[in-house]
């Protein structure tokens, strides 16, 4: 094929790998182009501008801002981002069509550092079924369109779509043509997430061995995650000589997504010992970018997602919490601060131990003596067994409740069962220990709380008036703890009781009994030997 050799004129403003720093890996973010291609992930212009701004500040080398021929909106977004970007190269995608390329150039030309990215399918499936072209026709198209792009812009990226399913000898031929036509970056896409790490590396090695001049271009790797290997495949390509990783925040992208930026960047940072490559990214902006993309795209990040998932730096098991409190490195391979989180989270739950519970109380400013601590821990475990998440507010309620129940209460609840629902009667079976002796009773009421209070009143008759009965959920959700407050008045004297439990009726009855104990205490002060009957 007759092509003009342009390998001697690399793009003047190309973000190229520094010859003095051969281990520098460029980060090409395509959240706004390939990421937005996820069904349902369409973003507004303002959201795109915000995301581009944080990528630019983070030090992303190249931002693929959109596909300008796709729509007026895409064209506008790419143009605006091009005008706004301070540091990053701004790239627009174009098919192997002069109209697409002209449109992409019109959008990116405003950038300090513009790039045109043009692509065409090269695999047999794509040639035959998508393009209806033979091998030679595709080669001619590559030559024609890459040279057209290069005449407009001195920074041109070319991609053989579905490269990993393209015959290797033909892939080599296409790359030779693209370089001769002026491409400055050669991207090798694993369009359908089909390759595996060893093959991903071998493709790059085969190209480097067989394409003269490729070593003067940047070689990029663009992986999809259909088999969950996008990160591994990208890193394998880097080990074989690729120096640009194409990725998206949160791995957003078509089907199972693209390589996740946060994964490759942190993998290179954490395992520098075995992968001596680096990026220029400010990783402390990763969490902000992740949250921004999740909100804009409407794709929440899965809890256990590497690096940016809610649980990525959270520990619930007692043994892990104990280790992390002694030295975070026991169970953490990177610092939460490195990705922009303030600290790792000790998630309190049924797997937590005393070390974490003590640390949590300290955090909450709660100081308990040894016995009170042991008792609180037992109650915390019981609560955690009945509740999925134990929040700080639950623990505060639990401690307050403990503090308000005096150790020498004369009335204690031994057991309570209520029957409620549609149809009457609502009844309660209650056993109270009064001065150490168990008493059992059954009572009915308008509802389960009324029945439980009536049962208490049968065993502990009194004339105090219930002035307040209030229920609050400590946190949202059907497993939220209820905090119940009751206020009783007798002869102008007010006593209160407060209790928390995941069962509202239990919390109510305990709060009521606490208030009655306080009433007993008051009366005891004036008549120390008074019997438990509170009836005046």
Ligand X SMILES: CC(C)C(=O)C(=O)O
- Could you say whether residue 200 binds ligand X (CB under 6 A)? no
Which of Mg ion, ligand X, ligand ACO, none interacts with 159 (beta carbon under 5 to 8 A by kind)? Answer: ligand X
Rg, the chain, Cα only: 34
Task: Tell me if 193 contacts ligand X by CB under 6 A.
Answer: no
DSSP 339: G
Question: Is residue 131 involved in binding ligand ACO (CB under 6 A)?
Answer: yes
Residue bearing tokens 């896409």 = 189
Instruction: Provide the 3-class DSSP secondary structure of residue 93.
Output: strand
Q: Which of 116, 161, 235, 460 binds ligand X (CB under 6 A)?
A: 161
Per CB under 6 A, 319 contacts ligand ACO: no
CB under 8 Å to 88, separation ≥6 — which residues?
Answer: 52, 55, 56, 60, 61, 62, 63, 113
Q: How far apart are CA 210 and CA 69, in angstroms?
A: 34
From CA 475, how far away is CA 482, in angstroms rounded? 9
Does 222 contact ligand X by CB under 6 A?
yes
Asked if 69 touches ligand ACO (CB under 6 A), the answer is yes
In whole angstroms, how close is the CB of 377 to ligand X at the nearest point? 53
Contact partner, 69, from Mg ion, ligand X, ligand ACO, none, Cβ < 5-8 Å per class: ligand ACO
Tell whether residue 322 is a contact of Mg ion (CB under 5 A): no
89-128 binders of ligand ACO (CB under 6 A): 95-97, 119-121
Cβ of residue 34: shortest distance to ligand X, in angstroms? Answer: 5
What string of DSSP letters covers 362-417? HHTT----HHHHHHHHHHHHHHHHH-S-B-HHHHHHHHHHHHHS-TT-SEEEEEEE
Binding of ligand X by 191 (CB under 6 A): yes
**Please, what is the minimum distance in Å from the beta carbon of residue 123 to ligand X?**
10
Q: Is 13 annotated as a binding residue?
A: no
119 vs 171: CA distance, rounded Å: 13
Residue listed under structure tokens 């990226």: 157
Residue 123 or 457 having the CB closest to ligand ACO: 123
222 is in an annotated binding site: yes
Does 189 interact with ligand X (rule: CB under 6 A)? yes
As measured in angstroms, the least distance from the Cβ of 211 to ligand X is 18
C-alpha angle with apex 356: 336 to 484, nearest 5 degrees? 110
For residues 100 and 53, what is the distance between their CA atoms, to the nearest angstrom? 25
Number of chain residues interacting with ligand ACO (CB under 6 A): 15
Cis status of the peptide bond prior to 425, with omega within 30 of 0: yes
Helices (H), 135-229: 135-152, 168-180, 197-210
How many residues at the interface with ligand X, by CB under 6 A?
Answer: 10
Nearer to ligand X, 88 or 164 (CB): 164
Q: Which residues bind ligand ACO (CB under 6 A)?
A: 34, 37, 67, 69-70, 95-97, 119-121, 130-131, 161, 191
Annotated binding site for Mn(2+): 34, 222, 224, 258
Q: Which residues bind ligand X (CB under 6 A)?
A: 34, 93, 119, 159, 161, 187, 189, 191, 222, 224
């Amino acid at each position: 094929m007759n092509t003009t050799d342009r390998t001697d004129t690399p793009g003047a403003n190309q973000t190229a790998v520094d010859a003095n720093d051969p281990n520098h890996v460029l980060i090409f973010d395509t959240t706004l182009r390939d990421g937005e291609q996820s069904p349902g992930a369409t973003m507004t212009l303002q959201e795109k501008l915000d995301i581009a701004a944080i990528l630019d500040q983070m030090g992303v080398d190249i931002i693929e801002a959109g596909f300008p021929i796709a729509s007026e909106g895409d064209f506008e977004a790419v143009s605006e981002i091009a005008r706004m970007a301070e540091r990053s190269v701004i790239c627009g995608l174009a098919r192997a069509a002069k109209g697409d390329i002209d449109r992409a150039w019109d959008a990116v030309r405003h950038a300090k550092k513009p790039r045109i990215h043009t692509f065409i399918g090269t695999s047999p499936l794509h040639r035959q079924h998508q393009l209806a072209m033979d091998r030679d026709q595709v080669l001619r198209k590559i030559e024609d369109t890459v040279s057209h792009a290069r005449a407009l812009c001195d920074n041109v990226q070319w991609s053989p779509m579905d490269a990993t399913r393209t015959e290797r000898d033909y892939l080599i031929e296409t790359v030779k043509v693209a370089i001769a036509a002026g491409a400055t970056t050669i991207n090798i896409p694993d369009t359908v997430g089909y390759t595996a790490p060893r093959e991903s590396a071998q493709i790059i090695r085969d190209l480097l061995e067989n394409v003269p001049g490729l070593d003067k271009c940047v070689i990029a790797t663009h992986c999809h995650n259909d088999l969950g290997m996008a990160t591994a495949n990208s890193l394998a390509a880097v080990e074989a000589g690729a120096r640009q990783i194409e990725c998206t925040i949160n791995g957003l992208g078509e089907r199972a997504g693209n390589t996740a930026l946060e994964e490759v960047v942190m993998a290179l940072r954490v395992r520098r010992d075995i992968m001596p490559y680096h990026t220029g990214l400010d990783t402390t902006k990763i969490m902000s970018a992740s949250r921004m993309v999740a909100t804009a795209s409407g794709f929440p990040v899965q809890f256990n997602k590497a690096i940016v998932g809610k649980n990525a730096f959270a520990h619930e098991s007692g043994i892990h919490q104990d280790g992390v409190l002694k030295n975070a490195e026991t169970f953490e391979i990177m610092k939460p601060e490195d990705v922009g989180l303030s600290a790792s989270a000790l998630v309190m739950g049924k797997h937590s131990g005393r070390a974490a519970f003590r640390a949590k109380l300290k955090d909450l400013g709660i100081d308990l003596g040894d016995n009170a601590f042991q008792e609180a821990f037992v109650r915390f475990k019981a609560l955690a067994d009945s509740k999925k998440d134990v929040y700080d507010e639950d623990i505060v309620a639990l401690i307050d409740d403990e503090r308000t129940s005096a150790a020498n209460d004369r009335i204690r609840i031994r057991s309570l069962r209520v029957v409620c629902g549609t149809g009457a009667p609502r009844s309660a079976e209650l056993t109270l220990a009064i001065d150490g002796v168990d008493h059992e009773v059954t009572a009915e009421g308008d509802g389960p709380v009324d029945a439980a209070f009536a049962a208490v009143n049968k065993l502990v008759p009194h004339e105090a008036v219930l002035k307040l009965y209030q229920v609050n959920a400590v946190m949202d959700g059907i497993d939220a703890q209820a905090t119940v407050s009751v206020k009783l008045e007798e002869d102008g004297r007010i006593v209160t009781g407060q209790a928390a439990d995941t069962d509202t009726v239990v919390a109510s009855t305990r709060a009521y009994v606490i208030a009655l104990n306080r009433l007993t205490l008051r009366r005891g002060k004036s008549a120390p030997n008074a019997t438990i009957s509170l009836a005046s």
